[in-house]
Amino acid sequence: MRRVVVIGNPASKRVDLFQQALARRRWPVAEVVPWLDVLADPGRLAPLTSGAFVRLESPGRDFEVEKQLLARGADEPDDEDPDAERITAATARELPFEKGRILYPRQWYRGFRAVLRELAQLDACWLNHPADVIELFDKRLCQRRLADAGVSIPAPLGPARSYEELLARMRETRKLRVFVKLACGSSGSGVVAFALGRDRVMATTSVELVSRDGRWLMFNSRRIRRYETHEEVAALFDTLCPEGVQVEEWLPKAGFRDGSCDLRVLIVAGQERHAIVRISKTPLTNLHLLNERADVEELRYEVLAEDWDAAIGDCRKAATAYPRCLYVGVDFAFAPGFGRHVVFEANAFGDLLPGLLWHGLDTYEAELAALETHVSMSGS
């Protein structure tokens, strides 16, 4: 078996589950290179990655890594907004830990992108190529790629850098219900479902706004909040939008059990493997927000075969739009009645689905099985 190298946070659940899958498939234990080491000296990876399968894991859930990525992004150019707010590398390294705080996501992404560009130059057999991960992490770039591939997506409204600009976009396009998402956020961070009425507004989100020293700070929370005054909503979007957002039409989702639902489908080597239904009584369906899971076979009884095949076909097209990725998690939803569907996102790290099996294999084992088939067919 070829050597396996994992770039990740050693204590993360993701790394542990992947190592367990390697053991079950009788692969060698992976050599884990911490993100902190990569950020300190990406060049040290060169002798490790040559000829190896290399897996990129999410750098999230490690505050020291987050600070170093912010520091790396301090001097990186911002092509979209050269005047975007930024902090110095020294300030980034001294940031205090505050649970749930959303810290300069625009700058974080610039740092992450810079490191991935360096990693892309290494001689390695990437499971998911760094150049594709860069694009998958920017919802605006990803949605354009999916649209070009013929995937059904929500209608984009274009950029919005403030609350007033967002309102203008909505009125111009006559889209009075939209999702506003941090362009480079993950796990539901910075996602807002926003409805504009004649006399009222409502923004539903997991973002908690906290006023400090005359400015607003954003925190992630598991408690869904509703902001219902123009003053509150203006504060929310005037804080969120300068970090870069994807604005798209908010389409109603099909009802299932006691809520509305969408699905996460894992595509491995171009084929659908694991799938999970996510049910929520709010517009946000992320499972970490304590929403309900359901078996996909239960949902399929509600969907005509041709409509199911069309939706899964779009998921495959979304994944194969990134041909250098072995696996991609794709999020989609059916409209009420289960006829139409739209694909919301494609995720480079969308395979963390603990306990979910496909033909007896968890997500990581399915990926390794696909690699085994590739090696067997190619003879290398």
> What pLDDT was estimated at residue 79?
82
Question: pLDDT tens across 67-106, in order?
Answer: 999 999 999 999 888 888 899 999 999 999 999 999 999 9
Note whether residue 286 is domain-resident: yes
* pTM of the entire predicted model: 0.94
- CATH code of the domain covering residue 283: 3.30.470.20
Other CB atoms within a 10 A radius of the CB of residue 348 amount to 23
Closest by CA position to 331, among listed 342, 344, 321, 322? 344
Q: How many domains does the chain have?
A: 3
CA-CA distance, 285 to 355, in Å (whole number)?
A: 19
Q: At residue 153, does pLDDT exceed 90?
A: yes
**Number of residues assigned to the chain:** 380
Asked if residues 218 and 285 have their Cβ atoms less than 8 Å apart, the reply is no
- From residue 72, alpha-carbon distances to 3, 107, 165, 232, 348 in Å are 29, 8, 30, 33, 21
pLDDT at position 8: 97
Q: Does 205 share its domain with 263?
A: no
User: Considering the domain boundaries, does residue 136 fall inside one?
Assistant: no
Domain final residue pick, 249, 279, 296: 249
Domain assignment present for residue 152? The answer is: no
- Indicate the residue among 72, 106, 126 that finishes a domain: 126
Please say whether the beta carbons of 59 and 9 come within 8 A: yes
Q: Pairing state of beta strands 271-280 and 292-294?
A: antiparallel
Token pair of 136 as six digits: 């998958």
Closest CA to 160 of 83, 237, 105, 79: 237
Percent of the residues in the chain that have a pLDDT greater than 70, as a whole number = 98
Q: Residues 234-284: pLDDT tens digits? A: 999 999 999 999 999 999 999 999 999 999 999 999 999 999 999 999 999
Range of the domain at 356: 253-378
Phi, psi of 164 (to 5 degrees): -65, -40
In a shared domain, residues 296 and 323: yes
Helix, strand counts (H, E) of the chain = 13, 15
Q: Give a yes or no: residue 154 inside a domain.
A: no
193, 214, 249 - which closes a domain = 249
Residues facing 29 on adjacent strands: none
Indicate if 267 and 342 belong to the same structural domain. Answer: yes
Token readout for 26 is 């009788």
Residue 318 lies in a domain: yes
Asked if 265 and 329 count as a contact pair (C-beta separation under 8 A), the reply is: yes
